[in-house]
Amino acid sequence: MAEPKPISQVDVGNLKGLFFDIDDTFSTHGKIRPEAYQAAWRLYEAGKILVPLTGRPAGWCDHMARMWPVHAVVGENGAFYYLMKNGKMHKHYTVQDHHPAEYAERMARIEQEILACVPGARVASDQPWRQFDLAIDHCEDVPPLSRDDIQRIVDIFRKHGAHVRVSSVHVNGWFGEYDKLTAVRLFVRRELGMDLDACNADFVFIGDSPNDEPLFSFFTKSVGVANVRDYASFIKIGPAFITRERHGMGFVELADHILTAR
């Protein structure tokens, strides 16, 4: 991963909105600090479009879309986005050929192999609220796995033909041709009436881990919180810019930069 530039060099004039990861970007060690949540509210009230992009499950995303100061939520690494319109929940899916029974059988085989081959690995505690992927915990509710063990989990997913991404807490695998960027494109086209390629510079993305790599690669104004450096060996294309602060305080740092530049 190349060394990013400081966020003071990001041109945020006339910025329309912010896409952001949640775990260890918006949150700090599993908690959303008041400073970060207030920063989201400040951006929202300033008229910025706010959309979290997460590997977290559908059940969590329903709550976020209803309760948080956001315009939509992308969940399960791009399988869908949820948003509220006129007080009603609307759900849009990027998966066009989902076969639940077939996928469940294939995921069960992958799960069995991972748990047999990687001591200490466990299915993520939020798995019951997922619709499309399998999440393996590598540090959230289990002692942290080694980099070699994480890579072994990645290799098992890939051996079975699944797409796989590593987040700061989980290894997520799924079947289907989509990722977070796929869902962002769909949201921008359907909800904003814009082409994301043409309006790339109107948005900033901020993240922290390997599952954010498609966004780091695409957005010209991609930002990493300082702890993205912890995953430098897993990331080929990293963010263009980086905060001084780690985790949620890095999110606050970016929010302050955006709001000061208005």
pLDDT band at 99 (very low <50, low <70, confident <90, very high): low
Whether the per-residue pLDDT at 98 is higher than 70: the answer is no
Query: For residue 59, which amino acid is it?
Result: G
Confidence (pTM): 0.94
**Overall fold of domain 5-94+178-260:** Rossmann fold (3.40.50)
CA 4, CA 10: separation in Å to the nearest integer?
11
CA 203, CA 134: separation in Å to the nearest integer?
30
Q: What is the pLDDT of residues 170-216, one digit of tens each?
A: 999 999 899 999 999 999 999 999 999 999 999 999 999 988 999 99
Average pLDDT over residues 118-138: 96
Residue 175: name the closest of 105, 120, 128 by CA.
Answer: 105
- Name the one residue in this structure whose structure tokens are 């939520």: 73
Residues 130/58, Cβ–Cβ less than 8 Å: yes
Q: What is the pLDDT of residues 140-162, one digit of tens each?
A: 999 999 999 999 999 999 999 99
pLDDT in the model for residue 104: 86
Average pLDDT over residues 31-48: 98
Average predicted confidence (pLDDT) for the chain: 95
**Overall fold of domain 100-174:** Hypothetical Protein Ta0175; Chain: A, domain 2 (3.90.1070)
pLDDT in the model for residue 95: 82
- Name the one residue in this structure whose structure tokens are 């976020």: 64
pLDDT in the model for residue 96: 75
For the chain, which residues make up each domain, given as ranges?
5-94+178-260, 100-174
What strands, in cross-sheet order, belong to the sheet with 17-20? 5-6, 241-242, 222-224, 203-207, 17-20, 49-52
